[in-house]
Copies of this chain bind each other. A is one copy, B any other.
Amino acid sequence: MHSKMRSFAKKFLYISGHLFFEVRKMADLPIAAVVRIAKKNGAERVGSDAAEALVVRAEKYIAGLTKEANKLAEHAGRKTIKKEDVDLAAKS
């Protein structure tokens, strides 16, 4: 039983290592670009954990805005998101 647990723990560690790799790979926005924007807006130094948090939150923001804009495009009978969908989505 104990060895089964250990084997499970090893597997779990392997899996979480894999997940961690996947999670890091999932980021689409380049960290350097996000840090550049932060520095243009008054940030003197940005910790690496803070930079990653900015990336994650910016991606979530884009995801939310896109989902709303997509709903509006479909409502207008289109499959292509237009600027007007993004603008209206940002207002709601």
Number of copies: 2
Chain A contact residues: helix, strand, loop or mixed: helix
Task: Fill in one digit per residue for A42-55: 1 if any B CB lies within 8 Å of its CB, else 0.
Answer: 11111101101110
A10 within 8 A of B: no
Q: Is A37 within 8 A of B44, CB to CB?
A: no
Task: Name the B residues within 8 Å of A62 (CB-CB).
Answer: 34, 37-38, 41, 54, 58
List residues of A whose CB falls within 8 A of some B CB.
Answer: 28-30, 33-34, 36-38, 40-47, 49-50, 52-54, 57-59, 61-63, 65-67, 69-70, 79-83, 85-87, 90
Task: Name the B residues within 8 Å of A46 (CB-CB).
Answer: 66, 80-81
